[in-house]
Structure 1
Amino acid sequence: MTIAMGEKIFHHQLVYNDYAKLSRNFFNLGSLLEKIFKTTFLSKSGTQEGENTYMGNTGNKEIDVQGIFSSLPNVPTALFQSQCVVWKDEILICGGRPHNHHCYSYHTTKRKYKKICEYPHTIRIFGHVVVKCESDNNELTLLSFGGVDVSKYTLLMSYQSVWEKSRRKEKKKNEWRVVHHDTSFGTRKSNLTGASALIGGKNKDLLFVTYFPNKIDVIDMKTYHYVCGTGSNRLPIKSPYSLQNHCFVPLTSSNQTVVNHFLLIHKNLSLLIKYNEEDKKFCYESLPTCPSLATCDCYGFISFNDQIFFFGGYDASAMTEIDYIFIYAMKDRAWTQSKHSLPIPTRGCCPVLIGDGRFLHLVGGLAHHRTQAMHLATTVRAFDQVCFFFFFLSVIHLVII
């Protein structure tokens, strides 16, 4: 039995004998299940039935959140190009543009925010980077860096949950502090604004940093010093596609990270980057690009299940934000445009995955020339309606039995 939907064909021979009849009602039932999903799993406490609109920081314009997205409580302050990290049941929201120094924890179960701290006001938060480092049951280490020329900074935070009332907070916890007085990533003239970084290495002790205009650096996380002997750190990028606000994610296979293999995507550029840890050399392979993103950057992006999801962005040729959602399949090396879109054209939103990748949150952004405090949620499965459909069939089946 074969069901065609869009450009994809799915084969399910072991579901039901009367599947043809079920398929005729598929789309109506899919819409119903989508509403059930939003009402059951994503609707915020205290929200009346049918209330699916979000009044964001966009003047008098109402943002319609009908569809796969659901509105969650606003971030306490509007921001875009924020850096978010997931730890346990928390989303740690660390600063953002324009020069927003506030850091918050959003509890995904309580659906409330608590302030953690602020960045030092002596630095400029403008296209900064936050990386999750070591963690255990009680504490998480965060690394943050950014800046340009002599105003660069490299900071660490030892985070203990602000939601744990019984635990006594230690000194120098939950605050940003300088790594070492002599430690600052980048050279004197480097521009780390809009950089992107990943933890890699066989022992997960190397930091790979890609930044303007075409550089990639390797840093030893044990010493915070640059790895000596690394070959040319110039990426094969030609003007005018200088790196900034780009996508940089690990390559995965069967949802497992391939050590020292990375994907870099920016405008009309897609690269597979491989690093030989013994020889300390890079090699590169060109990948298919997405024509619709050829002049776009500043999109929210996240990788899961061997796919990269791109949300919105800024189209430099049209000089406007976009609301498209694109998906890149790592295995097939193929691009797909989702039939869904963002509620409004947005750039600089920050996507994070929680619940073992079941739920996707989008935090902040810039829309209608205004910084947003919006917080949206959906599920990764919602981007594939067949998977979405069978996911809820399983849920309903469990409820019935």
Structure 2
Amino acid sequence: MSNQTFQSLKELPTPLFLPQCVLHKHEILICGDYKRSACYSYHILKNEYKFVCNYPRHVKLEGHCVVKLIDNNNNNNEDSNQVTLLSFGGAFKHTLVMKYVSVWSNTLDISNKSNELNNDNQWTPFTDNHNNPIIIGRSRDEYNGVRAVISGSNNHLLFITYLKNNISVFDLNIFQFIRHDRLPTDNWIWDHCFVSNPKNRQGQGIIKTNQEQNEQNCQMLLFCKNVGLSIKYDKDKNIFQFRKLFVCDNIAPFSNYAYMCINDVILFFGGWNGRVDGIDVSTSVHKYSIRENKWMTFKNTLPIPLFNCVAILSKEDNYLHIVGGVNNKRKALLTHMRTKMRIWDVSHLSKYEIKFIVEYWVRTLKIKLGWIDNFDQIIIKYIFSKYTKLKYILSFFFLEISFDDAKMTKKDSFQFFFLRSRRVNKKMEYKLYILLYLLCNQVAFYYNVDLIIFFFLQSQIKNEMGFASIKIMHMQHRLMNENN
């Protein structure tokens, strides 16, 4: 099964141990690894590698970190042919930047000399507005295995987590640290998972104030072995708030895993128990749901035990790439493989796949099966217990369901006529419609289905099940507000 789940790609040009990778359009930029200074670009569509540059000779790489800087003045930052990378940290600290211009450009050969003059595709010192060199990290800070994310209202705050249990905030606008703090754990934190919390960023359609947006942009999550933390930074007060998160027993012994945060979930691939004697390297794949604070261990596994690898998601084709890593014999590998994201997260199903699934529901639900009244309560209670947001929204419309007179009533005594049909005696069809309507809402809210598909399904239901009138305009209006 694992062989079907993961597809091998062209081998890496060199074995990679603790590589640092950044996605840029159709390229995965590989920016050195443990004691190897070579940088490469992997073209996702061509399945080919090209050499970019080496780190300067005086730079020794051992547990460094590379992040992509975001230019707020460039509205088309994602479409730009160039990107600025920041490399810092490691056991032997360095702070460098690279203005990367795609090595796959047709005009690159002509402009090679120009690139050299402009320092493109070269690591150069990180400087302030007066061209003074800036070093990120104090002399006493241990940055081996450091992790960082960029956040803040203007993408100007660099949050850094590092040994032993430290967190710092570096302001990229003023080139200074503005906060140092301790994480609420005595465990060592390194080569760990550290991501921005994507909560409420997509598909919620809720208008937020600037203050709420700033607060939202400074929420992070950290996992390392049995430590799980939700981290919130208050920019105005310049303080951190920490909340401990549950970590399942299956992943608690491990760190050094590949990880990827997308939508509402974090995926973890492989991992190492941190021991040289009695080494244990995992093949497992785990999923953590941020919204539900729940863990899941998949039956599908990596084809080999793996740690110190990197996970990168290609947004164009929804493939997740696993790059490099070390096996259970502590050997660095040339491995590069990919897997379909929809295997691990159903929100990445295509619109065609979702449409196919729901059409299957329609065909299945049209089968005339026997029905008892208890089925109504079982179905609705199950959906409400599993999807609390759906319960909140639908509770606006009804508290009780009466299929005899085809109406739904609200607690405060007024009646909202949700369904009305000439087929009042066919209770079976009302029950089927209610179930299907709830399922469609479930898909629309939790799998980000385009509203066009959602309304298409509603029209199909009306046509195929013969309802004369269905009053759903209020719900449609609410759905559109939620998705704008």
Distance, in Å, in 1 between the alignment partners of 2:67 and 2:147 is 9
- Counting only pairs closer than 5 Å after superposition, residues 312-331 of structure 1 correspond to structure 2 as 312-316=270-274, 318-331=278-291
Q: Work out whether 1:346 is the aligned partner of 2:306.
A: yes
Distance, in Å, in 1 between the alignment partners of 2:356 and 2:306 is 33
Relative contact order: is structure 1 or structure 2 higher (C-alpha 8 Å, sep ≥ 6)? 1
The partner residue of 1:233 within 173, 181, 204 is: 181
- Counting only pairs closer than 5 Å after superposition, residues 168-187 of structure 1 correspond to structure 2 as 168-169=111-112, 170=115, 171=117, 172-180=119-127, 182-187=133-138
Aligned residue pair count:
326
3-state SS of the aligned residue for 2:343? helix
**What is the aligned partner in structure 1 of residue 342 from structure 2?**
381
- Counting only pairs closer than 5 Å after superposition, residues 1-400 of structure 1 correspond to structure 2 as 66-97=3-34, 99-134=35-70, 136=77, 137-148=80-91, 151-167=92-108, 168-169=111-112, 170=115, 171=117, 172-180=119-127, 182-227=133-178, 230=179, 233-238=181-186, 241-254=187-200, 256=202, 258-316=216-274, 318-356=278-316, 358-367=318-327, 368-383=329-344, 392=353
The amino acid across from 2:67 in the alignment is V
| Structure 1 stretches lacking a partner, 5+ long | 1-30, 32-64
Distance, in Å, in 1 between the alignment partners of 2:234 and 2:347 is 40
Deviations 1:152-209 (A, max 9, x none): 1100000000011214242200011111364212111211010100001111111000
Distance, in Å, in 2 between the alignment partners of 1:254 and 1:283 is 19
3-state SS of the aligned residue for 1:381? helix
The amino acid across from 1:334 in the alignment is K
Deviations 1:27-61 (A, max 9, x none): xxxx9xxxxxxxxxxxxxxxxxxxxxxxxxxxxxx
Distance, in Å, in 1 between the alignment partners of 2:255 and 2:22 is 21
The amino acid across from 2:120 in the alignment is K
Deviations 1:117-145 (A, max 9, x none): 01112122111100001354132000001
Distance, in Å, in 2 between the alignment partners of 1:157 and 1:387 is 33
Query: CA contact under 8 A between 2:90 and 2:145: conserved in structure 1?
Result: no
3-state SS of the aligned residue for 2:3? coil
Distance, in Å, in 1 between the alignment partners of 2:351 and 2:287 is 21
The amino acid across from 2:52 in the alignment is I
**What is the aligned partner in structure 1 of residue 366 from structure 2?**
none
The verdict on how the C-alpha distance between 1:395 and 1:237 changes in structure 2, with shifts beyond 3 A counting, is same
Distance, in Å, in 1 between the alignment partners of 2:219 and 2:308 is 25
The amino acid across from 2:105 in the alignment is E
The verdict on how the C-alpha distance between 1:386 and 1:277 changes in structure 2, with shifts beyond 3 A counting, is closer
TM-score normalised to structure 2 length: 0.64
The verdict on how the C-alpha distance between 1:260 and 1:357 changes in structure 2, with shifts beyond 3 A counting, is farther
User: Alpha-carbon deviation of 1:288?
Assistant: 0.9
User: Alpha-carbon deviation of 1:387?
Assistant: 7.3
The verdict on how the C-alpha distance between 1:114 and 1:309 changes in structure 2, with shifts beyond 3 A counting, is same
Distance, in Å, in 2 between the alignment partners of 1:90 and 1:267 is 31
Distance, in Å, in 2 between the alignment partners of 1:254 and 1:189 is 37
User: Alpha-carbon deviation of 1:383?
Assistant: 2.2
Distance, in Å, in 2 between the alignment partners of 1:285 and 1:326 is 21
User: Which of the pair is proportionally richer in strand?
Assistant: 1
Which one is further off, 298-307 or 352-361? Answer: 352-361
The verdict on how the C-alpha distance between 1:138 and 1:386 changes in structure 2, with shifts beyond 3 A counting, is closer
RMSD over aligned Cα atoms: 2.4
Distance, in Å, in 2 between the alignment partners of 1:386 and 1:233 is 36
**What is the aligned partner in structure 2 of residue 43 from structure 1?**
none
TM-score normalised to structure 1 length: 0.76
The amino acid across from 1:260 in the alignment is C
Overall identity of the aligned pairs, in %: 35
Deviations 1:323-378 (A, max 9, x none): 11110000000000011111100001110001257110010000132101111001
